[in-house]
Amino acid sequence: AQSVAQPEDQVNVAEGNPLTVKCTYSVSGNPYLFWYVQYPNRGLQFLLKYITGDNLVKGSYGFEAEFNKSQTSFHLKKPSALVSDSALYFCAASSGAGSYQLTFGKGTKLSVIP
Amino acid sequence: DAGVIQSPRHEVTEMGQEVTLRCKPISGHNSLFWYRQTMMRGLELLIYFNNNVPIDDSGMPEDRFSAKMPNASFSTLKIQPSEPRDSAVYFCASSSIRDSPLRQYFGPGTRLTVT
């Protein structure tokens, strides 16, 4: 069975500082990996995905994520945090082509402090 | 594009009542997902439809839950009878194999409170 772990329930960072939200996965074969963001009282919104190719993936709102196969990680990063980045972030994984199901992590609450 | 539409946005009902949640996927999408989100359990997949056919309902908690997709533009999730432990936010999501496989577009959710 596949699984996704987000080891931190909450991450606090000062505005303007770099941020990292961690994610590790356990998926058979070559994984498809995703990050979604959820703002209060809203549905999840797609940020970025890794399917194949360059290990560094760039997404919406200045976010990027690095795929590390040896560490089975897909950490979300941003060079300079904004207060408006405060939200709940979900990592998700699938076992690849032909698989419809995304397994989501439990989410990490990011708070950017002014 | 209006996105995924869910109704109602909020539902408060008494234990034992029937609850019906509705979803309209994005036009042209052929896959539809129902999720439940709670603080304790996070985001759980309840059921997945492909081309209107239920493919995997292993996440449906029990027989009180049922889901239908009578056509490509409409799906319902029904709880009968409802219980307080069903209180959660229920999300519908859709995706298209022609667009970007597995990228799911989420609706705004229905916040269900069962008293």
Whether A44 and B93 lie within 8 Å, measured CB to CB = yes
Q: Report d(CA B90, CA A40) in Å as an integer.
A: 14
Nearest to B106 by CA among B52, B32, B50, B51: B32
Instruction: Output the pLDDT for position B17.
Output: 97
**Chain B residues with CB inside 8 Å of A32's CB?**
101-102
> B78-115 pLDDT, tens per residue?
999 999 999 999 999 999 877 666 789 999 999 999 99
B61 or A97: which leads in pLDDT: B61
Q: How buried is residue A10: exposed, middle or buried, by Cβ count under 10 Å (0-12/13-18/19+)?
A: exposed
Instruction: Output the pLDDT for position A68.
Output: 95
What tokens appear for B54 in the block?
A: 């239920």
* Non-local CB neighbours of B58 within 8 Å, separated by 6+ positions: none
Using the Cβ of A100 and the Cβ atoms of chain B, whether some distance falls under 8 Å is answered with yes
Instruction: Output the pLDDT for position B96.
Output: 87
What is the DSSP pairing of strand A108-113 with strand B10-13? unpaired
**Chain A residues with CB inside 8 Å of B104's CB?**
44, 46, 102
> A34-63 pLDDT, tens per residue?
999 999 888 999 999 998 888 999 999 999
| Cα angle A71, A75, A81; round to 5 | 155
**pLDDT grade for A114, boundaries at 50, 70 and 90:** very high
Instruction: Output the pLDDT for position B97.
Output: 77
Nearest Cβ partner for B102 among A32, A41, A104: A32
Using the Cβ of B51 and the Cβ atoms of chain A, whether some distance falls under 8 Å is answered with no
**pLDDT grade for A97, boundaries at 50, 70 and 90:** low
The number of residues making up chain B comes to 115
pLDDT of B1 > 80? The answer is no
Instruction: Output the pLDDT for position A102.
Output: 86
* Non-local CB neighbours of B54 within 8 Å, separated by 6+ positions: B47, B48, B67, B69
Instruction: Output the pLDDT for position A88.
Output: 96
pLDDT of A76 > 70? The answer is yes
Instruction: Output the pLDDT for position A99.
Output: 67
> A3-35 pLDDT, tens per residue?
999 999 999 999 999 999 999 999 888 889 999
What is the DSSP pairing of strand A64-68 with strand A73-78? antiparallel
What tokens appear for A15 in the block?
A: 């505005």
What tokens appear for B95 in the block?
A: 């995706």
Whether A46 and B103 lie within 8 Å, measured CB to CB = yes
